[in-house]
Amino acid sequence: MHRDRMIYQTDETRSCILAMAQRLFLENGLVATQMQDIARELKISRTSLYRYYQNKFELATEILSNLSRDMATNWDEVMEHTVPKANGLAEVEFYLYEFWISDRFKVAHEYMAEYDAFFSGERADETVLKGIARYYTNYSMELLTALIKRGINDASIRPDLDVHLSAVTLVNAVRSLQQRLIMRGRVLIEARSDEHPKMMTELLRYLVLGISARA
């Protein structure tokens, strides 16, 4: 971070910028919201805004990180009040459905979908990759990996699986379809409108069957 950016920064102003940016990004979208929009709503100059964040990507990525941490914290609270499932396979199914498919974290999922769509392709240069790595949380992979290991140990999940490969494949399969449904909506013309809300649970059924020891 540049020296001049550090001199003028305060935690209160940073928090205000993050809160306003998150509101505008969620209400109007990443594409439609520009840095000058955030500065105008906060009644500060763009120069002041750029002392805290060099560009929209840096700001959007920190918001993504905050939303991810909030999801993890909320999920831990959910698990504290959840009756343990019969085996590891059932835990995997419960986690994928309740964390990624249900409407529990709908707002965060919608933001993630637009973030992935916006910061991809030519925009995904080395700066983008380093920025994402800076804020990346391994929560989902660690949790799902532990659940798969539990399933292998209790014989509900196939023992021949590569645990990490299975975890990353399951999460990305679910998120990919979820994000396509979010971003495409009714324009996903290959599926009937009445099929849209059923596609995620149908995918989950196939995925769970594929890792089941009984398959």
DSSP for 165-195, please give it.
HHHHHHHHHHHHHHHHHHHHGGG-TTS-TTT
Per the structure, the complete domain to which residue 142 belongs is given by 56-211
* DSSP states along 89-148: HHHHHHHIIIIIISGGGHHHHHHHHHHHHHS-GGG-SHHHHHHHHHH---HHHHHHHHHH
- When divided into structural domains, the chain yields a total of 2
Residues 121 and 199 in one domain: yes
Residues 28 and 78 in one domain: no
Residues 183 and 200 in one domain: yes
Residues 79 and 40 in one domain: no
How buried is residue 80: exposed, middle or buried, by Cβ count under 10 Å (0-12/13-18/19+)?
exposed
Domain containing 21 — which CATH number?
1.10.10.60
Domain containing 151 — which CATH number?
1.10.357.10
Question: Is the confidence at residue 9, as pLDDT, over 90?
Answer: no
What's this model's pTM, rounded to 2 decimal places? 0.82
Query: How does pLDDT run across 150-193, given as a tens digit for each residue?
Result: 999 999 999 999 999 999 999 999 999 999 888 887 778 888 88
DSSP-assigned letter for residue 85? P
Query: How does pLDDT run across 39-88, given as a tens digit for each residue?
Result: 999 999 999 999 999 888 889 988 988 888 899 899 988 888 888 888 99
How buried is residue 177: exposed, middle or buried, by Cβ count under 10 Å (0-12/13-18/19+)?
middle
Binned at pLDDT 50, 70 and 90, residue 137 comes out as: low
Total Cβ atoms within 10 A of residue 100? 21
Tokens 């840095």 belong to 35
